[in-house]
Chains A and B, each alone.
Chain A
Amino acid sequence: MSDRYFEPDAETMPRDQLDELQEEKLLGDLLPWAYKRSPLVRATWDAAGVSIDDVTSMDDFREKAPFVDKDAIRRFRDTSNDRYGGLLCVDPLRAGGPFTAVFSTSGTTGDPTLVPSVTSGPSILTREFWEMGCRPGDYFVEMLFTYRGPGIHHTIRGIGATPVFVDHSPFEFPNVYRLSRELRPTGWYTMSTPLILALEQMAPAMGIDPRDMFASYKGVIYAGEPLGARARALLDEWGVNFFVHTGVADVGAATECREHDGCHIWEDIAFVEVLDPDGTDPVADGERGELVGTTLVDKIAPLVRYRSDDLVRVTRERCACGRTHARMWPVGRKSDEIVVDGVSVLPGDVWPAIESVAETEAALFQVIRPARELDRLRLRVGFASEGPHGLADVRDRVIDAVEACVGLVPDVELVPNEVLLRQGPPHKIPRVTKQ
């Protein structure tokens, strides 16, 4: 068995066994647990006229189980005076129980919702860190924020490595440079677009040689938002072996393996479906659809058939790495889509156009989306400089590039990059705004 697997039996489990395991975990354990204890699950199923007794097979689950989404959780929270949005399945007043902390979602799409959590032990990301090539005794840079709790510390220790704590801020690069040369870490969690672009700008003044800084790393996890071509090129130029990492419908995370051919979804902890974004029918393998997730392991605040709003492509074809679990490619957010003159536009569609203009190459931009269907495509675009011919010229070149890319002539408002960066969180900015 190859040394690249942390849990070889689980990671390479034949598809039929994986399907059986999912059925056993979902129908035999998680679903009865959630149905009995989660006020949101019970209310949603009652409203849909579906009982747990109606679901005796995975086909039943796919056909009958009603959906929840983030708005439903917020609505339940606000109308039921339940701070956990009806998700909690354990007694919050029981001291010493398994529920030791209350974290929160990023808040990128609205107010953060609560994530009751267990804070001991490593997460399943041990598989990813191991696949990157990190091994016991290594140092591992954790460049992160705190609102998701200490799970990554535990996970780094879970592979026998030692975390080195730094903030997710460009002003940390001098520290990271020094630590990288002294400790020779092999792993880094996480790099983001704002950090990549800041490193490019600040490295000369900080006396940092990015190639030297990244020389010891076997893998750097990239997360936050889709990786643009320009940021990707910079990572390549610096010799960074980066691994794209993304969330899985708030029931897990997915990361590329060394093949860099899609992010592995760990299907022994999550049951995922890819459905028509405007309906309930599944899309074909590899086709674009909305990711719907059901946890198979979270008994504290389980999500059952959670419509994530994330548009993805998923394949269940075996990866060249030998793993059998599904792989996904994030496309964008369903609620980010606008339709102008019948043309569907996602932020990712205009991204290459904006980074093709030198003054806006950081690709800090927002789509103005007061409604889904619009007469005009409106963009707020960050600029680094006014260029040789002034902002009117920059605006004209952005308009031309966007038109060439999506066939629509946009209205463009230019603002300094800093204005958009202040809208954080630091690893990404809201790509869509109502005004």
Chain B
Amino acid sequence: MTDLTKLGVAAIRTGVASGEFNAVEVAEAFNANVAAAKALNAFIVETPEKAIEAAQAVDADRAAGNPLGKMAGVPIGMKDLFCTEGVQTTAASHILEGFVPTYESTVSANLWKAGAGMLGKLNMDQFAMGSSNETSYFGNVISPWRRGGGDNAALAPGGSSGGSSSAIAARLCPAATGTDTGGSIRQPAAFVGISGIKPTYGRCSRWGVVAFASSLDQAGPMSRDVRDCAIMLEAMAGFDPKDSTSLDLPVPEWEAGLNSDLRGKKVGIPKEYRLDGIDEDIAAMWDNGIAWLKDAGAEIVDISLPHTKYALPAYYIIAPAEASSNLARYDGVRYGLRDLPDGAGLQDMYAATRAAGFGAEVRRRIMIGTYVLSAGFYDAYYTQAQKVRALIARDFEAAWAQCDLILAPTAPSAAFGLGEKTSDPLAMYLNDVFAVPASLAGLPAMSVPGGLDKQGLPLGLQIVGKALDEQGVLNAGLAIEERAGFTAEAEKWW
């Protein structure tokens, strides 16, 4: 029998539907891989019974001749930012350790409704703040990838959806949910050679997703290829009256609309992304991407996004500002950690609980956010950053007069080693430089594998589209996928 864990979403769905294998077999196979991969630390909680349960339901439906959902029989990993009813949800933090929601996030509920099952809760950067998964309270996730030439240094799987990326790359799950606030789906996807799409802001409900920065947070799928992303995004997306920022639009049939023929499409290449001292492997991959899209029929045009260099500073004001407020609810009063020193009053309890419950990076961002919103600094920082955000959105608007899509690298480098950037937050933040502009503008953006660098590590190409044009993004991703021939896999060492 074929190794079922080699299959992606589409193949599993088809195999289950046709009866080639049953869903329980698939769940068991992935459960086994999860159980055997502790060394990667990709999961905070494993839920093999949930995967089996969902699979049994799908098998029963099939036996009864009931219609099967879009994700029927597909076991997935769930980023620990999504609240899951009856299963611990921590956002990889100590402050929420032991918190078991009584409710299910809209996105995860949509996936279960579509027939998916849950293998477990995936590790991540604490409260989705980080680019390397090193801020998790539950220890960092390790990428299955290693540099070539016998270098066994542990590498970052990217972040914040690093548990998701590592688990997919190591075939612990065929797909996983991610969330992207400033690149948290795209950068980890790029680091491990998989695909991931952040849809237009508002496509996926934020209800039940632990908030980091509300105006930026957006859930999306991560999987082995573009088709799988399209299938899973269809299952995840949809209007949710419980989220005021949710888009009240029907969900397009992205999978059915997949088409890698890009004739008539114009793809913009933003000159501002070609930074001085750009990694030459990254530059070469980008050139390859341009050639592949040309080959798929697209016309390549040079464009300018003049305010790009202000995106990262603006992001690191807006996101922490929102986070400082969003994370105020973790106060030890109603749920989660409570640290109540002897004889302590309310203020002491807040201070002790939050000092013990939040990691260093979370505390740093809460302080930055608190500072930029403070009286006397608000206009200089927050208001200014909002103006920059508007200018960045305008840059994209202007670009759409010239092109339909934008192609750029996902990240400025391949995966770095764990610990290499932890002492320098700015170097870490710079890893988001290509990802952040699309987040600020709320645009759909995807990372697909673009090749390997000289060390043998995956690199990602990013496609940014117009608002609501996930189809265009997916199609360009498919065109690259068909031409890049990316089949490299991490050699199993775990």
> Are the chains A and B members of one assembly?
no
